[in-house]
Chains A and B, each alone.
Chain A
Amino acid sequence: MSRLTQVFADLQSDKRRALIPYVVAGDPSPEGTVSLLHSLVDAGADILELGVPFSDPMSEGPVIQKGHERALGNGMSLQRVLGMVAEFRKDNDRTPIVMMGYANPIERFGYEAFAAASAEAGVDGLITVDLPPEEVDAIDGALKAVGLDNIFLISPTTPEPRVQKIVERARGFIYYVAVKGVTGSAQLDTDEVARSVSLIREKTALPIAVGFGIKDATSASAVAASADAVVVGSALIAEMEQKAHSAEDLEEIQIHGAAVQLLQSIRAGVDSSPS
């Protein structure tokens, strides 16, 4: 059983919802990323979503854009992200890692080479924002061949027949993008989310994660009422950014602490959700 399947099965038997934090690999520093990931797991993360820095992150709002810029400024590359996953795996063989990024660095790496290197490093799944089903065949095939899951996105604008087609080829879990917009934007309409999630649920037994627009314990709790997993990204990065600017000479662990604290409170929100 894959790590992703295992985690969702365990959660289901405990009647709990998954919490998935997103951070950008190499932000705030490449040296700190692996320890940040471990801290997020300690704070209640069930699955980790690791952003692969890209020069043109078209679906990101300003907060995550800056994270990508900082990471690239720190000399990050796809190869180094994979190195971080391998490093993380030395101490944690249980928590799934899903990489999230854009097509071009992966194209450049080569789809098959990338799939092989990801499997080797201990990656579990991949979300490529700009590879919709129409363009995903090559990477999907390469990932499947090494037992990794390509995670498909469904959005509020995805028409129903298309939802059907997407769930038919999905593995791991479904990622429902809760808002029309970029990461960190817009007001979340939790009623709309609940409606869409139940519509998707009619078509698939796969777990459904919801992301984009979840900021705090309250919004996480509301989303967890319908979703199997809650993704939170911009809020964590904004929290770390604020902390970093709050004083000079901070240790990186103190900056991480800001994200850890927020994640703990979101964990509590998710766990208190009526379901």
Chain B
Amino acid sequence: MTSEVTPELFASVPDQDGRFGRFGGKFVAETLMSALADLEQLYARLKDDAAFQREFDEDLAHYVGRPSPLYEASRLSDAIGGARILLKREDLNHTGAHKVNNTIGQALLAKYMGKKRVIAETGAGQHGVASATVAARLGLDCHVFMGEEDIRRQALNVYRMKLLGAQVVSVTSGSRTLKDAMNEAMRDWVTNVDDTFYIIGTVAGPHPYPMLVRDFQSVIGREARAQSLAQYGKLPDALVACVGGGSNAIGLFHPFLQDESVAMYGVEAGGKGLETGEHAAPLSVGSPGVLHGNRTYLMQDDDGQILETHSVSAGLDYPGVGPEHAWLKDIGRVQYVAANDDEALAAFHRLTRVEGIMPALETAHAMAHAEKLAASMTPDQHIVVNLSGRGDKDILTVAALDGIEV
């Protein structure tokens, strides 16, 4: 992609067909096309509607607990001796991750559309919990699709969803992880399209989802930008976020895209190492293709079959990535790198011991890269890391990896 990178460029995507350059679009069965058109129309109307925005902002303030702090991890930064690391504390949100910013927004859309039933796919269970939470609050019937493998490794979140009144549907097809949960959610949506709202958990799926999830999550970057200016009188030098589907990353990055001085790093799951093939890093080593309603970078074989992925963190275990990231990679605005399982696990322990903050394993991938990056920078420079979620859900996984029986 050689189109010139100008501020206007970032505001111009997606276009009316849902394209981010050659990525995005609406690759779904005909049955869903009118539901997507309805959603698009409703969102186009509500996006700039003052009453809708006020309702969204108030829910974020009083229910989610926003704004989330921008916290300087001093001991960690001192220990590294390079750039100062600032943590955008999405782990302090109600339900413990950034996911809720989006589910609050989409639940409002469901309410405006008069839908009584919501469905969601989930990997780590954070989006499932956030969906079950807003459904409980609005009295909506909620079904969460989750791969059998993820149900096993995220047992605590499964029980949380059930306590919240959601039905957790075990998905046993394919690799039994997030990608298959998304297939199954799409199948449910096709079947129940009249009364059901599909709350997609990341910036993937068909247009308009990548756009509206980005818009809802952009509260992260807007706050971080304002906090950085207020607390330090300047913008950060770099941003770091983990990338599964890419919603916490785009939420942090998007409000900074026009700030040329701010470097951005999206961190994919390197799994057992990019060279082993056992990872979930489509931007790092994948190729363009079509999955789950959009064109993006995918992990696929020569025949166009989607490959199974591996990551220690269920929330990053996905063979695709949001189309806007695919575009940001191509135009060179964001750099995408990978952190492997071991690096993430080490970063998990370090942040827990040095700062008393236990990050989600997804988030630990961002921390792993931020530490490396900080070491290559100077103490007058700032890195903002999206601390996308808390690690309580992962403690059994961490214990198992460390060979400890709880």
Contact = CB atoms under 8 A, between A and B. Distances in A.
Nearest to A179: B191
A177 B174 CA distance: 25
B33 A78 contact: no
A129 B186 CA distance: 13
Contact of A132 (B28, B302, B304): B28
Residue among A104, A106, A155 facing the most chain B CB atoms (10 A cut-off): A104
B303 A157 contact: no
Given A55-B174, A181-B191, A130 B293 contact: yes
B25 interface: yes
Given A72-B305, A180-B190, A104 B291 contact: yes
B306 interface: yes
Residue among A59, A102, A157, A177 facing the most chain B CB atoms (10 A cut-off): A157
A56 B174 contact: yes
A216 B82 CA distance: 71
Interface in B1-44: 17, 25-35
B189 to A, nearest CB: 10
Nearest to B31: A155
Nearest to A75: B303
B48 to A, nearest CB: 25
A104 to B, nearest CB: 4
Nearest to B17: A134
A153 interface: yes
B258 interface: no
B190 A181 contact: yes
A73 B247 CA distance: 34
Contacts of A150: none
A105 interface: yes
Interface string B279-304: 00000000011111101001010111
Contacts, number: 117
A126 to B, nearest CB: 15
Interface of A: 54-62, 65, 69, 72, 77-79, 102-109, 129-132, 134-135, 153-159, 162, 177, 180-182, 185-186
B183 interface: yes
Contact of B30 (A65, A79, A103, A132): A132
Interface in B278-335: 288-293, 295, 298, 300, 302-306
Nearest to A80: B303
B156 interface: no
A109 B183 CA distance: 23
B30 A106 contact: no
A139 to B, nearest CB: 11
Contacts of A158: 30, 33-34
B365 interface: no
Contact of B302 (A62, A107, A108, A186): A108
Nearest to B191: A181
A59 B303 contact: no
Residue among B28, B179, B289, B306 facing the most chain A CB atoms (10 A cut-off): B28
Residue among B31, B190, B193, B302 facing the most chain A CB atoms (10 A cut-off): B31
B236 to A, nearest CB: 38
A3 to B, nearest CB: 25
B215 to A, nearest CB: 22
A108 B17 CA distance: 22
Contacts of A159: 34
Q: Which are the 10 A-B pairs with shortest beta-carbon distances?
A: A108-B304, A105-B304, A181-B191, A155-B31, A77-B303, A103-B290, A55-B305, A104-B304, A153-B30, A130-B27
Given A104-B289, A130-B290, A182-B187, A154 B30 contact: yes
B194 interface: yes
Interface in B138-184: 173-174, 179-180, 183
A162 B34 contact: yes
Given A157-B33, A185-B191, A58 B303 contact: no
A134 B18 CA distance: 11
A65 B173 contact: yes
Contacts of B180: 56
